[in-house]
Amino acid sequence: MVFLFLCDAERGAVFAKAFAEHLSDVRFSMEAASVAPDDVRYIMTWKPPEDLERYPNLDAVFCIGAGVDQFANASLPSKVKLIRMVDESITRMVVEYVMMAVLCLHRNLHVYIDQQRRHVWHEVIPQPQSADRRVSVLGMGVLGEAALSKLQGFGFKLSGWSRSQRSIDGVACFSGEDGLREMVANADILVCLLPLTPETTGILNKELFALLPLGASLVHAGRGRQLDCDALMSALDSGHLSGAFLDVVDPEPLNSDHPLWAHPKVVITPHIAAITQPASAAMTTIENLRLLHVGRNPVGLVDKAGLHRQ
């Protein structure tokens, strides 16, 4: 059986070494032309290949990243599993990004960066203490729960929202539409870590920003299509929102003349909150293959029916 790696050669070399050491009974290949299509049982990629019908014995497609919305319109046969990357390194990096962005907004770093550009020496006062700052997270899956856990160490008042009710010690948990409105209305820093679904597309919009308290700020590390950039611009320009950290936007990158690039209240990073680390991702993939080989579901198995509702 063949595992076909259709990503960059640099990470592929790391995967190849791991497969040779830990799963030698699976042939690892980075060249589609060098293997018989009938032998390909698994494919790893970022975007769905256009020629999946070439592989009649394909069992699973592995996404090298955590997000899989790019597969929404892919013609995956019903028998083919779709597996997203759920890896400790991705979780750790997203948590690092959330900590960085929340602390920067809490301590007004975006304001001081703008003042530095203008050669202004001015203290922003008063500076709220962390115990008086309300940080709320949209999405309490693996990433959201890990971020909330780390945020607890700073003493913030924490809350989280998910579609179904959750319970996390030290976190006020909300669910459903009413819970969303209640949590957002009491959020000083709102963090979005939601997956992209039909329900979350465009969720960061004019109506949601209006619910936020005056002076609130946003950290967006979910998916680009969840954010209405024009609505964010209006909320920032009106003074209703005081700042934003954006790791994802739509399109990526923004057009070069988009005003968000130069907005004094905005920090933009190029979708780097998490970057798949090949060594740990290779071992995660190998463990998932072992699960598949004994008839068990892999970690990160995607509900394709829900994906295709987008």
Hey, which residues are catalytic here?
223, 271
Sign of CA dihedral 93, 145, 220, 190: negative
Q: Cα(202)–Cα(7) distance, rounded to whole angstroms?
A: 30
Q: Cα(46)–Cα(84) distance, rounded to whole angstroms?
A: 10
- The overall longest dimension of the chain from CA atoms, in Å, is 67
Would you say 191 and 135 are in contact if contact means Cβ atoms under 8 Å apart? yes
Q: Which residues of 243-275 are buried (b: 16+ CB within 10 A; e: fewer)?
A: bbbbbbbeeeebeeebebeebebbbbeebebbe
Which secondary structure element, helix H or strand E, spans residue 9, and what is its range? helix 9-22
User: Could you tell me the two tokens for 294?
Assistant: 């004994």
3-class DSSP state of 235 = helix
Q: Cα(308)–Cα(89) distance, rounded to whole angstroms?
A: 28
